[in-house]
Amino acid sequence: MNLPSFLWLWKIAAWSMGLTITCYVILGLSGTFLYKIRQEKQPQKKWLRPLHRSIGIVMVTLILLLLSIGIIGTIGHYGNLGHSWHLLAGLIIVCFALFSAWSSTQIHPTKPWARILHVRANIALFFALLFVGLTGWGVVQKYL
C-alpha cells in the first residue's frame, strides 16, 4: 500500500487523541454549566449551548479520524486487523460517541429520558477513553 509515513500517521493520531480528551473535558465543563443554569432557573447564556454542540461535533469528528487512522495504519503495517484489544476499545469509543451525539439530538422538555441517556453515555465514554488509552499504550510500544 502506498501510505504516508507511519510516524506521521501516529503523530496525527496522538494529536487527535489529545484533542479528543481536551474536547471531552470542555464538554464536561460546559455540560455541567448548562445543568447548573437549568437547575437554578437562570437565564441561558446564548453562547454556551452552541459551544457545547460545536465541541461535540469536533470530538465526534476526531474520534472518526482516529478510527480511520487506526484501520489504515494497522492494515498498512500488519496487513489485517485485530492484533490487540485496542480495536475493540476504539470501536466502543466510536459507538458511545455516536450514541451520545444521537441522544443529544433527542433532548427536549417532552423527552426527559434523552438527557439522562446523554449523560450516562458520556459517563460510559469516560471509561471507554480510559480503556482505549490503556490499550493504546501497548500499541504504541509495539511500534517504538
| Closest alpha carbon to 77 in 127, 14, 140 | 140
pTM comes to 0.89
pLDDT, tens digit (0-9, with 9 covering 90-100), for 67-82:
998 888 888 777 888 7
Burial class (CB in 10 A: 0-12, 13-18, 19+), 141: exposed
pLDDT tens-place string over residues 40-69 = 999 989 999 999 999 999 999 999 999 998
pLDDT digits (tens, 9 = 90+) for 79-128: 888 778 899 999 999 999 999 999 999 999 999 999 999 999 999 999 99
